[in-house]
Amino acid sequence: MFRRGGGTIKRSFILAMLLLFSAAALLNVNYSYGTDVESLDPDINNQLEDSSNIKKELVPTGNSYSTAQVGDAANRVKNFIETHKTLPNFVTISNQRVPMSDFLLILSTTTIDVNDGKNGQKVQYSIQEPAHSRDQITKGTIQKSEYLNLAKDIKTQIETNSQATPYVTSSRGTISYESLIYVYSRIVAFNWNQKTLPNFASIAPWNGQKLPDSPANTAQQETKPVAAEPAPQPAPQPAPQPAPQPENNSNQNKLTAVGNSFTKAQIGEAAVRVRNFINNNGVLPNFVTISGKRVEMAPFLLMMATSLDNTNKGVNGAIQEFNPQEPANKPSENIAGRINAPEYLQIANLIKSYMESTGKAPESQSTSLGTLNYESMVLYYSRILSFEYQNNALANFVTVSASTIQNSVTNLGKGQLNGLQGTAGLETLARYINQNLNHRDGAATTAAGVESTGFGDCWGLSDWAAKVLSANGYTVRVVQGATSYAYNHRWLNVMINGKWTSFEPSLVTKRYGSKHYTATCSSVRDIVVTYN
């Protein structure tokens, strides 16, 4: 019994021990499992964390658009933002409503494709609007290389998250979702109008309605007002438009104010005279006189561009004169057609921006018709300003034709007598004659003879002065009459403000006491020749 009972006890003991070891084994397995989790390879752990950012598939809407269609839409969005200080809810492209979140991806894709020379259709995807945006910009510019890189970042972020980028970080600070749409609308609109991407884009703090700065503030924000659909407008607002800049940035001349300022009306009246001068002579004047001040053509081009830019912005203040240089080269051109108001207003802003950033007038400017050279810019903007001055309204378009404009007028007076206008021009001519020429009996009787010898009789001085004035656009006639010394004395009549004014080249010389050019010694008997 004992042996049998002892066997029972032994078996029970063994069974208990087995159960104990099994429990310990289970405990050890659980402990080991916990240790394995804590000691996972860091790279594996990171992979697990990164799996939350797996690229989400974008959902196409079934719509796609050409680069030109996107450019036109960008122009309308740009105009809408500048007018209403808020984003529109959507823009219509090819009869399809495109929300701004979708449009941001289209804009960034278009910017990249244009730079890469790609012209394929831009597919519209369904993109969620961000819950917030952040804007901390220092006003300035971002160069082409930077805005291209930012466009790639925007595209990558949207494709990864299927949500519009709330902001990106740039060299000028944090650019908000709203500002990104505005900046890239301007860039793409610029390309649509100018057939090239701008070399930089201006940015400034967003001053319109925007999303909250952080998601936590979303519930505290008022509902964003619904903005009207952007509609095509006859005249864009190009004030913040990206402006072209030469690739070589070594010339960073600063414009210096010369101390003169003029009203819009004064500039318009001067533009009429410049237009008439070029139309009559096929050349640019060296300067135009405004309120007794001589303004050369490069500063005048800047003033005309500024005047138009101010008109477009509704600004009416006086316009300062600065000292931009003339361009070193003046390329020829061969273009013809019409440039409509939206484009010539935009080009005016580009001219202004270029001159402010480089300190000189542009050699040429791209247009939808081709390239305008410097001389043509002066001509066509003087026509536009003349029209506005005379009609109190902007022209709907300006007609452009092949240009043969030169930037010189006459070699008489050693090339120092170009750009004469009005009574100030007559004063300049009289002063030159007094200081450089003189009357002498029996001297040269032709302009060429006076120029080569420095002396002439009344016939020679009158011929010389008449040709100088005619070359400068004056209507002038050589007249003849009797004096107490001669039967056939000659001098000039010059048309000023619709009336004939006497100009006596002989009496202004030192020989006759340096009299005023209006002094006379005879009455008109004959008209020898008239120059129109």
Place of tokens 């510019």: 141
Q: Is residue 458 part of a domain?
A: yes
244-263 pLDDT, tens digit per residue, is 333 333 334 468 888 899 99
Domain end position, chosen among 186, 215, 244: 215
Residue 266, pLDDT > 90, answer yes
DSSP secondary structure, 129-177, as one string: PPS----EE-SEEEEHHHHHHHHHHHHHHHHHHSB--SEEEETTEEEEH
With CA atoms as reference, report the closest residue to 351 among 327, 318, 320, 317. 327
pLDDT for the residue numbered 178: 93
pLDDT for the residue numbered 213: 77
Residue 162, pLDDT > 50, answer yes
For residue 272, give Cα distances in angstroms to 282, 298, 374, 477. 15, 17, 18, 23
Q: Is residue 222 part of a domain?
A: no
104-149 pLDDT, tens digit per residue, is 999 999 999 999 999 889 999 999 999 888 888 888 889 999 999 9
Q: What percent of the chain has pLDDT over 90?
A: 40
Q: Is residue 3 part of a domain?
A: no
Whether 430 and 395 share a structural domain = no
Q: How many angstroms separate the CA atoms of 282 and 405, rounded?
A: 5
Whether 70 and 191 share a structural domain = yes
Domain end position, chosen among 366, 400, 434: 400
Whether 142 and 180 share a structural domain = yes
With CA atoms as reference, report the closest residue to 110 among 74, 76, 78, 141. 74
Whether 65 and 208 share a structural domain = yes
Judge residue 528's burial from the number of C-beta atoms within 10 Å of its C-beta, 0-12 exposed, 13-18 middle, 19 or more buried.
middle
Mean pLDDT of 395-420: 73
Q: What range does the domain containing 277 cover?
A: 257-400
1-15 pLDDT, tens digit per residue, is 333 444 544 555 555
Q: What are phi and psi of 12, to 5 degrees?
A: -65, -40
Beta-bridge partner residues of 174: 136, 169
DSSP for residue 516:
-
Cβ atoms of 494 and 505 within 8 Å: the answer is: no
Cβ atoms of 531 and 524 within 8 Å: the answer is: no
Name the least confident of 335-344, 398-407, 410-419: 398-407
DSSP secondary structure, 335-381, as one string: --EEEEHHHHHHHHHHHHHHHHHHSB--SEEE-SSSEEEHHHHHHHH
| Total number of domains in the chain | 3
Whether 171 and 79 share a structural domain = yes
Domain end position, chosen among 215, 239, 271: 215
Name the least confident of 1-5, 179-183, 328-332, 333-337: 1-5
What count of other Cβ atoms lies within 10 Å of the Cβ of residue 497? Answer: 7
Mean pLDDT of 64-79: 92
Whether 270 and 205 share a structural domain = no
Average pLDDT over the chain reads 80
To which H or E segment does residue 443 belong? strand 438-444
SS3 64: strand
Name the least confident of 168-172, 187-191, 247-251, 480-484: 247-251
Q: Taking CA 530 as the corner, what is the angle to CA 528 and CA 532, rounded to the nearest 5 degrees?
A: 175
Name the least confident of 122-131, 213-222, 476-485, 520-529: 213-222
pLDDT for the residue numbered 358: 86
- The CATH number of whichever domain residue 485 belongs to comes to 3.10.620.30
For residue 136, give Cα distances in angstroms to 158, 168, 293, 443. 21, 10, 45, 77
Whether 355 and 426 share a structural domain = no
Name the least confident of 73-82, 168-177, 202-211, 452-461: 202-211
Q: What are phi and psi of 287, to 5 degrees?
A: -160, 170
Whether 65 and 194 share a structural domain = yes
In single-letter form, the type of residue at position 507 comes to L
Whether 129 and 176 share a structural domain = yes
Q: How many angstroms separate the CA atoms of 329 and 347, rounded?
A: 20
Tell which phi-psi region holds residue 162, choosing left (phi > 0), alpha (psi between -120 and 50) or beta.
left
| Torsion sign, CA atoms 153, 164, 126, 196 | negative
Whether 100 and 66 share a structural domain = yes
Q: Is residue 90 part of a domain?
A: yes
pLDDT for the residue numbered 333: 65
Mean pLDDT of 283-295: 86
453-490 pLDDT, tens digit per residue, is 999 999 999 999 999 998 877 889 999 999 988 889 99
At 411, the pLDDT band (50, 70, 90 cuts) reads confident
Whether 273 and 208 share a structural domain = no
Whether 156 and 97 share a structural domain = yes
Q: Is residue 205 part of a domain?
A: yes
- In a 13 Å sphere around the CA of 506, the CA atoms on its Cβ side amount to 23
pLDDT for the residue numbered 510: 95
Q: Is residue 462 part of a domain?
A: yes
Residue 236, pLDDT > 70, answer no
Q: Is residue 283 part of a domain?
A: yes
> The tokens of 272 are what?
């009429």
> The tokens of 345 are what?
């207003």
Q: Is residue 22 part of a domain?
A: no
